[in-house]
Amino acid sequence: MRCFIRILAAFIVTLGFLSRAHAFEPLNYGPSLPVSAKVLLSDWVSREMGMDLGGYAVAMTDLNRDGIAEYVLKPLKCYDPQGFCTFLILADARQSLVLLGKISAKKLALGDSYHAGVQDILAFRSNNNDYEYDIFVWDPPSMAYVLNGRTEG
């Protein structure tokens, strides 16, 4: 009986450590974009950023599970002294794009949770530590992603 209690206690302690870890889904910047998306993004980047789309890697994802892609733009060159890039999150809004957020980080990933029906975004502050990140959530009143928490890994 004591052996069973020790095993159960060890299992509960281990489960407690594991529950602190958050799952995340890395963004895939590799797949080619549909022509219509390239045109839309190229026009927006040129107009709003004064740049060429070729200066960005683009990931497509569906942040609110509505079947319409949102886009995450990652600059190919980041000039921040700390090595952070400013990622742009854009949504297709009837043949125009809407900026959902600008997030400065080393890299981004999609979180395993949702706020107001929109997937959280994890912004990593280190290239080597996957336990140290900021959590950005969708804020309906401001119609943007906002900082909601920070882990200290």
pLDDT at 2: 53
pLDDT, mean over the chain: 86
Q: What is the mean pLDDT of residues 12-33?
A: 64
pTM: 0.82
Tokens (6 digits) for 92: 């297709």
The answer to whether position 140 is within a domain reads: yes
Confidence (pLDDT) at 153:
62
The answer as to whether 4 is a domain residue is no
Task: Flag whether pLDDT at 98 surpasses 80.
Answer: yes
pLDDT at 82: 86
% of the chain with per-residue pLDDT over 90 = 67
Best CA proximity match to 74, nearest among 123, 143, 138: 123
The answer as to whether 44 is a domain residue is yes
Tokens at 69, concatenated: 């892609």
Tens digits of residue pLDDT in 60-96: 999 999 999 999 999 999 888 888 999 999 999 888 9
Range of the domain at 143: 23-150
Residue-wise pLDDT tens digits, 119-132 = 999 999 988 888 89
Mean of pLDDT values over 7-25: 47
Say yes or no to pLDDT of 9 above 90: no
Q: Domain for residue 14, yes or no?
A: no
| 6 pLDDT higher than 60 | no
What is the number of other CB atoms lying within 10 angstroms of the CB of residue 61? 15
Reduced to 3 states, what is the DSSP secondary structure of residue 13?
helix
Q: Number of structural domains, the chain?
A: 1
- What does the pLDDT average to over 105-131? 93
Would you say residue 3 lies in a domain? no
Q: Please, what's the b/e burial string for 100-126 (b: 16 or more CB within 10 A of its CB; e: otherwise)?
A: bbebebbbbbbbeeebeebbbbbbbbe
Compare 49 and 80 and report the one with higher pLDDT: 49
The pair of structure tokens assigned to 94 is 């009837």
16 part of a folded domain:
no
Instruction: Quote the CA–CA distance of 15 and 10 in Å, as a whole number.
Output: 8
DSSP characters over 9-72 = HHHHHHHHHHTT---EEE----SPPPHHHHHHHHHHIIIIISS-GGGEEEEEE-TTSSS--EEE
Q: What is the pLDDT of residue 1?
A: 54
